Amino acid sequence: MNSPDSLRFPDRRGDYLGSPTRRSLLRAAPGSLAWTLLGGLAGAGRLASAQPLDAKAVPVVDRLAVRVVTDSYHHAFEPSRTVGDVKIQRVGISLSQDGPPLALQNEWGLCLHLESARGDETRQMLIDFGFTPQTLNGNLALLGVDPAGLDALLLSHGHYDHFGGLVGFLETHGAKLKPELPLYLGGEECFCTREAGIGENAGSFGALDREAIRKAGLKILFAEQPSVVAGHAFTTGRIPAETFERVLAPSRMRVGVSGGLGCAPESMPQAKREATGFVPDDFEHEQATAFVVRDKGLVVLTSCGHRGVVNSVRTAQKVSGEQKVHAVLGGFHLAPHKPDYLKQTAEALAELSPDWLIPMHCSGEPFIAVAQQVLGDKVLRPSTGTRFTFGAG
């Protein structure tokens, strides 16, 4: 029988990122070979900062396709169609003559596959990695996404439901990934150990495994400021909390290193270097990813939107200079909020005048219903496997 802990964190028995088998090298003391290989915890894996975004030379692409690799919902019989200028491709059950039917798996987590094109030049990237490697790897295979073609990986923030599948993904596909494939992070804070929950259900919420990233040969690029991604996209960098939106703290983080896991205080923002114990998350490290699609405008991917979906879009507008919003996709972290706040958010989004709004993951059904009332047919429903194509082609 599974223990309560294994039910809450199913990866603990073998695939959990912080398991002892994965962190033996990271336990080494300063001066050891392991410490030398990692460059010391303050700089372990941090090979460079990402290329800063120049507002006068923001990348522009002709086409962008966003595929939902992992989310919590899948409808096998939903038809593909074109709505306005957006092509929506749905994926049903995979059937063959040689074996049983196969279906995409859903879980509480998010992973997006992006493919952009500018002329004959294409780029592919993954944003986030879902909760488990089993779901991530299985869905990638069913969707025909070849990791060998990836040009970049991005992690939006340090929550387990966004990085839980990473180690298993690297173990399965690491040998075929491009040398020094870049992994974009919002800063050292991504590595902090976290806990979540209330009362008897409170406990570990995992930690990002530096050693697994190093072993896979990834090149970590810190994107604390607005940064270019693979020549086609850009990150917002840190997202200021400038609107009515409230930054909730569903998790708590600890500054420091324990058992080889965690975030180095000296690489943290000044105000957090001396924090003791677990402190509420403010998601200062969270980043959104955006593209400028030619003749369409901004496509902003919020992933989870802890800093606020409106704050995220406004930051993308500010750092890029592009004011037209074509689409906003991702988790908006609105499920915990009351109806009046949901309406205020939907109305604020309407003021930004996006062509399309595509809520995922932690947005919540109550918000989707409100958004449909306020924005009408501009709201598109995704599901696991859905591919949205914006722009020419």
Q: 212: domain CATH number?
A: 3.60.15.10
* Rounded distance between C-alpha atoms, residue 328 and residue 319, angstroms: 16
| Encoded amino acid at 287, one letter | Q
Written as tens digits, the pLDDT of the chain (393 aa) is 333 332 233 333 333 333 333 333 333 333 333 333 334 433 444 457 899 999 999 999 999 999 999 999 999 999 999 999 999 999 999 998 999 999 999 999 999 999 999 999 999 999 999 999 999 999 999 999 999 999 999 999 999 999 999 999 999 999 999 999 999 999 999 999 999 998 888 999 999 999 999 999 999 999 999 999 999 999 999 999 999 999 999 999 999 998 889 999 998 988 899 888 999 999 999 999 999 999 999 999 999 999 999 999 999 999 999 999 999 999 999 999 999 999 999 999 999 999 999 999 999 999 999 999 999 999 999 999 999 999 985
Provide the pLDDT for residue 36: 33
Q: Which of 270, 301, 313, 307 is nearest to 285 (CA)?
A: 307
**Domain containing 274: what range?**
10-391
Domain annotation covers residue 378 = yes
**Bridge partners, residue 158, by sequence:** none
Domain annotation covers residue 68 = yes
Domain annotation covers residue 5 = no
Cα–Cα separations (whole angstroms), residue 300 to 33, 325, 331: 42, 8, 11
Other C-beta atoms lying within 10 Å of the C-beta of residue 63: 19
Domain annotation covers residue 246 = yes
Domain annotation covers residue 109 = yes
Query: Do residues 309 and 279 touch, judged by C-beta distance below 8 A?
Result: no
Provide the pLDDT for residue 242: 94
Q: Which of 308, 344, 339, 313 is nearest to 326 (CA)?
A: 313
Per DSSP, the three-state class of 190 is: helix
| Encoded amino acid at 9, one letter | F
Query: What domain count does the chain have?
Result: 1
* Rounded distance between C-alpha atoms, residue 272 and residue 124, angstroms: 35
∠ CA 336-339-341 to the nearest 5 degrees?
Answer: 75
Provide the pLDDT for residue 47: 54
The kind and range of the H/E element at 234 are strand 233-235
- 67 is written with which tokens? 């595929």
Looking up tokens 């957006």 gives 86
Other C-beta atoms lying within 10 Å of the C-beta of residue 56: 6
Domain annotation covers residue 197 = yes
Q: Which of 229, 213, 199, 275 is nearest to 39 (CA)?
A: 213
| Encoded amino acid at 226, one letter | P
Domain annotation covers residue 3 = no
Other C-beta atoms lying within 10 Å of the C-beta of residue 72: 16
* Rounded distance between C-alpha atoms, residue 47 and residue 39, angstroms: 10
The β-bridge relationship of strands 182-185 and 387-391 is: unpaired
